[in-house]
Amino acid sequence: MAANTTLPSKSPLSFPVFRALWIATVISNIGTWMHDVGAGWLMTSLSPSPLLVALVQAATTLPMFLLALPAGAMADIVDRRRMLLAAQILGLSAAAVLALLTLQGLTSPWVLLAATFVLGVAAALSSPVFQAIVPELVDKPALPDAVALNSLGVNISRAIGPALGGLIVAMAGVPAVFALNALSVLAVLAVLGTWKRPPAARRLPPEHFFGALRTGYRYARHSPAMRLVLIRTLGFFLFGSALWAMLPLVGRRELGLDAAGYGALLGCMGAGAVGGALLLKRLRKTVVANTISIWATLLFAAATLALALAPNAWLAAAVMFAAGLAWIGMLTSLNVAAQMASPDWVKARALAVYLLVFQGSMTGGSILWGILASRTSVTGALTVAAIAQVLAALLALRWRLSRDAATDLAPSNHWAEPVVVTPPANDRGPVLIEIEYQSAPERQADFIGALRRFSTVRQRDGATRWDVWEDVEQPGRVIETFVVESWIEHQRQHARVTHSDALDQELLNAFHIGGEPPIVRHFLRPL
């Protein structure tokens, strides 16, 4: 694996492991998109129900909603390479079984949904890990381009896979598509099998699974940058899911397309996304991420409405190309923001929460639009979704995506080690930390306000409770307290504080007077 001494100008593809895994993932994603075409098309043959057709999309995304955070917690505890290998083998097995069942004519709507769900489970176990290992494969200056390149790879697959899948369905039938999806996984398995990932250096024992889950949730809840990403993700994908859920019905019923034509529609969206990814590399240099996200949202809303009203396949193809441009613009903006908002120690879990909200929005939206289309019409569901997405673009006025990639989330290790007579056992707890400050009385209100803003750092990194107290006898004397569940968790809290936090704490400590540092005390509940 390449070291972090490479020049900032190097392309992500100049890192050998990233390059090999990127190519293998493109091949695997082509198989996935071929499966999606085959599954969506097969369901329209097995059942006329719009809800069942929409449930194919829901079965793909629901596992991500259910398993993303547990998978992210596991990825921050166990060896990520081995976890990826296990998930890929599960996906290969599910695809192979579905191919055999379909070849024998044994696939019912519920069998198809079940197999698609298992494939979604494999994806849910893989996705947080794939995103979390990117910073291991490239240096930090190349990270935004690596994230964008991953999105580009997905959309190259989207441009090729659906069209190829539709052609294969038309020529050889649905079972062939499912079989090729199984074979495509072998490319990723080959790269992972030869990757010599260095063992992670650990100063502290690994976290327990359920504790890691709580920590990941706590980080996402109390990190302002991560909360912003999650709000924007929900606002876009809940309504953006309508186009994906309704597309098989638009292609088959409204436009009268065959499987090849339906695959070509999806291919047009992939082609638009590829073009958008190439355009984004230039736009990011001059246009802020928030502005890109607003225009992407409005363009996708327009494409959703235009698809509802498209009178023929040619116009629908142009609409899907525009939808691809918008989709990649929003997806890349959110992915980069999520990567930049999460330090290494919690990266898989933080990205898992992002994927949970992303796929949960897609799952809930798919069911919502399927029900609405069943009760009204496909055109009506798409029209409502487009209008709602325009309104959701207003979120960008309050929750703005930042283009700041300079935030240093590396551990600063600037907290002094606790002074103890006898080191407590790791599982002793809870731990009460008390910090005594002395501020100028006339600045005390401003200081307490700054402390309250800084409290998110304590809670984000492990505090289960936080309080601030002012002394009624001695003006300017302020006590900050926070509680951590165990001694080992407080040690982890020391290791999690970043260089960016150190700068914020310097501003906070500027309020402290008296010449001596603030007094820090540690208390344990008696046994």
**Cα dist. 296→71, 154, 236, 397 in Å?**
30, 18, 10, 14
Residue 499 identity = H
The distance of Cα 474 from the centroid of its chain, to the nearest Å, equals: 48
DSSP string covering 338-382: HHHT--GGGHHHHHHHHHHHHHHHHHHHHHHHHHHHHHS-HHHHH
**Cα dist. 54→47, 59, 247, 299, 357 in Å?**
11, 9, 9, 23, 19
pLDDT of residue 76: 78
CA pair distance 257, 261, nearest whole angstrom = 5
Over residues 266-290, the pLDDT tens digits come to 778 878 877 887 787 777 777 887 8
Structure tokens at 20: 């090999």
From the list 19, 237, 273, the residue with the least C-alpha distance to 154 is: 273
Cβ neighbours of residue 149 closer than 8 Å, sequence gap 6 or more: 12, 13, 22, 277
From the list 52, 36, 44, 54, the residue with the least C-alpha distance to 95 is: 36
The strand ranges marked E within 263-319 are none
What's the whole-model pTM score? 0.74
Q: Contact 276/323 with Cβ under 8 angstroms? A: no
Q: Which residue is listed with tokens 């540690």?
A: 522
Q: Which SS3 state, helix, strand or coil, does residue 523 take? A: strand
pLDDT of residue 397: 81
What is the topology classification, in CATH, of domain 12-195+206-398? Growth Hormone; Chain: A; (1.20.1250)
Regions of the chain short of the pLDDT cut 50:
1-8, 405
The distance of Cα 15 from the centroid of its chain, to the nearest Å, equals: 23
Cβ neighbours of residue 184 closer than 8 Å, sequence gap 6 or more: 27, 28, 30, 31, 32, 34
Over residues 389-447, the pLDDT tens digits come to 899 888 888 888 775 545 677 778 778 888 788 888 888 879 999 999 999 989 999 99
pLDDT of residue 6: 40
pLDDT of residue 311: 80
Instruction: Determine phi and psi for 429, rounding to 5 degrees.
Output: 175, 175
The domain ranges of the chain are 12-195+206-398, 431-524
From the list 149, 180, 213, the residue with the least C-alpha distance to 21 is: 149
Q: Which SS3 state, helix, strand or coil, does residue 434 take? A: strand
Domain 431-524 has CATH 3.30.70.100: yes
- Residue 343, judged by CB atoms within 10 A of its CB (0-12, 13-18, 19+), counts as buried
User: What's the per-residue H, E or C state across 476-488?
Assistant: CEEEEEEEECCHH
pLDDT of residue 484: 93
